[in-house]
Chains A and B, each alone.
Chain A
Amino acid sequence: MALLEVKDLDVRFAVRGGDLTALRGISFSLDKGERLGLVGESGAGKSVAAFSILNLIAMPGYIAGGQILYKGRDLAAMSERELRKIRGNRIAMIFQDPMMTLNPVLTIGTQMVEAIQAHRKISRKDARAIALDRLQKVQIPSPGKRLDQYPHELSGGMRQRVIIAIALLLDPEIIIADEPTTALDVTIQAEIMDLLLDLCEQENVALMLITHDLGVVSQVTQRMLVMYSGRIIEQGPTREIINDAQHPYTQGLINALPQMGEPGQRLFQIPGSMPSLKNVPTGCPFHPRCSFATDQCTRMMPEYVRSGNVDVACYEVANLIEQERRMQEAES
């Protein structure tokens, strides 16, 4: 059984003039110790997907359907009280901006001890010892001193290390990291990613990494999901998708990267931009930007088809697979 299994998750935002569907029919699973990447551009719904796992979406957002099974228990149907025992304890979260997640008026030590004591009956002294141990694990320089410092005394990279240390406090089984390095410089980003990767391997923690950076995903994760306009349009092993993407959007996204182009030549570009939730096109949401779009694409959302180990929601890919199958049949 998978550690975390999301089935047919729908998330909506109730706004004036009707509901906006932010996530539609999201299904994926995460195994113990696995590293999963969630990729998409802004507005694709990747952060909503991450937040909804711990039911952190505030009104007007709500989970309209589907299940989030953590070890067989449905987090979406759980009471706030029960959920609190899991949040930060079994499933921890790392957010994009470390300055927003740390309390500016409390020392690092106080915040860490508070988090431990919220979940375990333990003395202040013992909690501090755990906090110190985790700060050492994230290789922060002079960890003892950091316990008594305030967030503003640390640099951006150090703050993000503290955030990772806090996520590790209670030995979680899953860490959900929402753009953990986007606010940092490249050299610091590389260090933090290294650290996160090493720690997840050492402690056998499953990682769900949300990012817009395909380079980071390809370095860190084993499987990936590509999201577009609230749907998963492609999912499978990271290597397979990066090397041979099936969905026209994923292909476009990879080919639009400057490192894929010939220096000085025009880059591949996907025309247009992601639709807003207020007017998602009918059928496949990508069809107005897709060069393979047919009549069929404008009518109904395509079902997933399997190509290799990758699941893709695209009529064009389905047709190609069908053609291939017929050719093979004809040959035999």
Chain B
Amino acid sequence: MTSPLVSIRGLEKRFDLSGNLLEQITFKGGRLRRKQEAVHAINGVDLEVQKGEALCVVGESGCGKSTVARTVMGLLSPSAGEIHYGGQRIDNLEGKASLPYRRKMQMIFQNPYASLNPRMTIQQTLEEPIRFHHPDWSTPQVRDKIHEVMHSVGIDLDWGSRFGHEFSGGQRQRIAIARALAVDPEFIVADEPISALDVSIQAQVLNLLMDAQESRGLTYLFITHDLAVVEHFGTRVAVMYLGRVCELADTKTLFATPRHPYTQALLSAIPKLEDDRPNHIRLNGEVPTPVNLPSGCVFHGRCPYANERCRREVPALITTDGGTQVACHAVEEGRL
């Protein structure tokens, strides 16, 4: 196997909740106590993104999928672990050294109403990244580049003089994609790029992303909660739960034979057109808070197959016969 384009190794990210020292100190039972709390958003994630693929990360809200995206992009710094791009460690780079990687990696955000600067015209929005990364380009060169990306995402050239608020959600998302493509990136992180859009517009944007992948040879890290989109779009899928990857497999394999009990429940919960009644696997309870992580397997509280070992010991990702990587004691022991 060739070396991966992006590799995430032992990634952890905590968000401190307790504030400064004075805020941490409480007076309880006649004694001063110091209490520290943190949200454990990511707890040891290892992922590799191969060149040319679309790796989808799915999970429910609070599972840490967006934090993974932001950490890979360098928008957040990891609490532990490393991010490598093309063999080079990038999470510790600063200033000038990180510039080439910032050009090669671009991000598309969920909400196109928030990700476009309301005071910039579309022309300025598209020009800014090009001028920043290619300060030596002449004005006609920049203009040609802008026209090229506008054309490739299917937006009108005369939109250039207009502002973001004049456009609908789908059109804004096209502009956001054009901005990401303007600096010829190799790798795009898309964080729920279509979940704010209507069904008919979702299809348009998804098609656009697939066209761009084909014509520009892009690699995607695609974050979403929508499994139907994953089945259509993804090369491989990583299912996350409470900051850990619980299953990683080829899209086809995952949808045909989900191994982890959480993946099974998640897949059965998708409302399908063929069904005239819901027939999903019922899980007990709800997702626990990432502030106090459960011991052992993070899923054990809701898992119908949990036993003593699951409550005690954290399962590691193991590779099964089908090539699926799954973190589950029940699968490992052959109980499932």
- A interface vs B, CB < 8 Å? 41-42, 141, 155, 157-158, 185-191, 193-194, 197, 212-216, 218-220, 238-239, 242, 252-254, 256-261, 263-264, 266-271, 273-274
Known: A157-B286, A256-B199. A218 touches B276 (CB 8 A): yes
Partner of B276, one of A190, A219, A259, A266: A219
Q: Which one of B11-19, B42-50, B128-136, B226-234 is at the A interface?
A: B226-234
Q: 7 interchain pairs (CB within 8 A)?
A: A155-B286, A186-B227, A218-B274, A257-B203, A264-B233, A266-B207, A267-B206
Q: Given known contacts A257-B273, A259-B232, is B202 in contact with A190 (CB within 8 Å)?
A: no
Question: Residue on B with the closest CB to A254?
Answer: B273
B273 touches A269 (CB 8 A): no
Cβ–Cβ contact B273 & A259, under 8 A: yes
**For window 254-281 of chain B, which residues contact chain A by CB distance below 8 Å?**
265-266, 268-278, 280
User: Quick check: B269 and A190 within 8 Å, CB to CB?
Assistant: yes
Instruction: Kindly state whether residue B168 has any CB partner on chain A within 8 Å.
Output: yes
Enumerate the 8 nearest inter-chain pairs by beta-carbon distance, A residue then B residue, closest first. A215-B271, A258-B232, A256-B203, A190-B269, A185-B60, A41-B198, A267-B203, A270-B200
Q: Does B120 contact A (CB under 8 A)?
A: no
Q: State the CA gap A184–B282 with chains docked (Å).
A: 16
| Nearest A residue (CB) for B211 | A266
Contact call B199/A41, Cβ cutoff below 8 A: yes
Bound form: Cα–Cα A194–B203 in Å? 28
Q: Does B283 contact A (CB under 8 A)?
A: yes
Which one of B199, B228, B271, B283 lies within 8 Å of A253 (CB-CB)? B199
Q: Which residues of A contact B168 (CB under 8 A)?
A: 273
Name the contact of A187 in the complex, choosing from B200, B273, B283 (C-beta under 8 A).
B283
Give A213 to B228 CA distance when docked, in angstroms.
Answer: 12
A197 CB contacts on chain B under 8 angstroms: 277-278
B interface residue numbers (CB < 8 A to A): 60-61, 168, 170-171, 198-204, 206-207, 210-211, 225-229, 231-233, 251-252, 265-266, 268-278, 280, 282-283, 285-287
Q: Beyond A258-B233, A267-B206, is A186–B60 a contact (Cβ under 8 Å)?
A: yes
Q: A185-B225, A259-B231 are in contact. Are A242 and B200 (CB under 8 A)?
A: no
Question: In the assembled complex, how far is the CB of residue A202 from the closest CB belonging to chain B, in whole angstroms?
Answer: 15
Q: Could you tell me if A215 and B273 are in contact, using CB atoms closer than 8 angstroms?
A: yes
Beyond the given pairs A214-B273, A269-B203, A273-B168, 18 more chain A to chain B contacts, judged by CB atoms under 8 angstroms and listed by A's residue number, are A42-B198, A186-B269, A190-B268, A190-B269, A197-B277, A213-B271, A215-B273, A218-B275, A220-B278, A238-B276, A256-B202, A258-B232, A259-B272, A259-B273, A263-B251, A264-B233, A268-B203, A273-B170
Give the distance to chain B from A164, nearest Cβ to Cβ, in Å: 16
CB-CB under 8 A for A219 and B225, given A256-B203, A273-B200, A274-B198: no
Q: How far is the CB of A174 from chain B (nearest CB, A)?
A: 22
Query: Which residues of the other chain, B, contact A239 by a CB distance below 8 angstroms?
Result: 276
B5 to chain A, nearest CB (A): 20
Q: What separation, in Å, do the CA atoms of A137 and B259 have in the docked complex?
A: 33
Min CB distance B303 to A, Å, is 13
Q: What chain B residues lie within 8 Å of A271 (beta carbons)?
A: 204
CB distance A257 to B207 under 8 Å? no
Complex Cα gap A86–B274 (Å): 37
Contact of A191 among B227, B251, B282 (CB under 8 A): B282
Residues of B within 8 Å of A269, CB to CB, are 200, 203-204, 207
Chain A nearest CB: distance from B54 CB in Å? 9
Query: In the assembled complex, which residues on chain A have CB atoms less than 8 Å from the CB atom of B227?
Result: 186
- CB–CB B269/A257 < 8 A: no
Residues on the B chain within 8 Å of A212, using CB: 198-199
CA distance in complex: A193, B232 (Å): 25
Nearest CB of B to A219, in Å: 5
Q: Tell me the bound Cα distance from A269 to B211 in angstroms.
A: 13
A264 touching B282 in the complex, CB below 8 Å, given contacts A186-B60, A269-B200, A273-B200: no
Q: Inside 8 A of A274's CB, which chain B residues have their CB? A: 198
Complex CA gap A264/B210 in Å reads 8
Chain B residue at minimal CB-CB distance from A256: B203
How near does chain A come to B97, taking the closest CB pair, in angstroms? 37
Please determine whether B286 and A188 come into contact, CB atoms closer than 8 angstroms: yes
Residues on A with beta carbons closer than 8 Å to the beta carbon of B225: 185-186
Nearest chain B CB to A157 CB, angstrom units: 6
State the Cβ distance, A224 to closest chain B Cβ, in Å. Answer: 12
Chain B residue with Cβ nearest A141: B285
Give the CA-CA distance A257 to B272 in the complex, in Å: 10
Give chain B nearest CB distance to A314 CB in angstroms: 17
Residues on the A chain within 8 Å of B226, using CB: 258
- Looking at A190, A197, A218, A252, the one whose CB has the most chain B CB atoms below 10 A away is A190
Separation of A257 and B229 alpha carbons in the complex (Å): 8
Pick the residue among A42, A186, A191, A260 that contacts B270 (CB under 8 A).
Answer: A186
Is A187 a contact partner of B266 (Cβ separation < 8 A)? Answer: yes
Give every chain B residue within 8 A of A266 (Cβ-Cβ). Answer: 207, 210-211
Q: Which residues of chain A are within 8 angstroms of B228 by Cβ–Cβ distance?
A: 257-259
Whether the pair B207, A242 counts as a contact (CB closer than 8 A) is no
Q: Which residues of A contact B170 (CB under 8 A)?
A: 273
Known: A41-B200, A187-B265, A266-B207. A218 touches B273 (CB 8 A): yes
Chain B nearest CB: distance from A104 CB in Å? Answer: 20
**Chain B residues with CB under 8 A of A191:** 282
B231 pairs with A258, CB closer than 8 A: yes
Query: Which chain A residue shows the least CB distance to B61?
Result: A185
Residues of A within 8 A of B278 (CB): 190, 193-194, 197, 219-220
Q: Are A215 and B198 in contact (CB under 8 A)?
A: no
Q: How far is the CA of A216 from the CA of B1 in the complex (A)?
A: 42
